[in-house]
Amino acid sequence: MSEIDAGPATVVAPPAVRARAGRRGFGRLLRTQPLGAIAAVVIVLFVAAAALAPFIAPFDPTAQHRDAFLAVPGSPYLMGTDDLGRDIFSRVLYGARTSLLVAVCTLVAGGVIGMVIGVVSGYYAGGWVDTLLQRIMDTLMAIPGIVLLLFIAALLGPSIRNTVIALSLLVIPTFNRVSRGEMLRIREELYVESARASGCSTWRILRRHGLPNLLAPILVVASLTFAIIIIAESALSFLGIGTPPPTPSWGAMLSDGSRYMEIAPWMVVFPGGALTLGVLAFNLLGDALRDFFDPKQSTR
Q: How far apart are CA 216 and CA 270, in angstroms?
A: 34
Residue 12 within a domain: no
Per residue in 16-31, pLDDT (tens digit) is 444 454 456 556 666 7
Q: How far apart are CA 247 and CA 272, in angstroms?
A: 17
| Number of separate domains in the chain | 1
Residue 298 within a domain: no
Lowest-pLDDT choice from 7-16, 36-45, 163-172, 271-280: 7-16
Q: How far apart are CA 233 and CA 166, in angstroms?
A: 10
Residue 16 within a domain: no
Buried b (16+ CB within 10 A) or exposed e, 22-45: eeeeeeebeeebeebbebbebbee
Per residue in 36-82, pLDDT (tens digit) is 888 888 999 999 998 999 899 899 898 888 888 888 998 888 898 98
Residue 204 within a domain: yes
Residues of the domain holding 39: 30-293
pLDDT above 90 (res 94): yes
* Cβ count near 236 (within 10 Å): 27
Helix (H) or strand (E) holding 4: strand 3-6
Average pLDDT over residues 143-168: 83
Residue 71 within a domain: yes
Most confident segment among 144-153, 199-208, 243-252: 243-252
> Rounded to whole angstroms, what are the CA distances from 125 to 6, 36, 117, 246?
27, 35, 11, 48
Residue 212 within a domain: yes
Q: How far apart are CA 152 and CA 64, in angstroms?
A: 32
- CATH code (residue 116): 1.10.3720.10
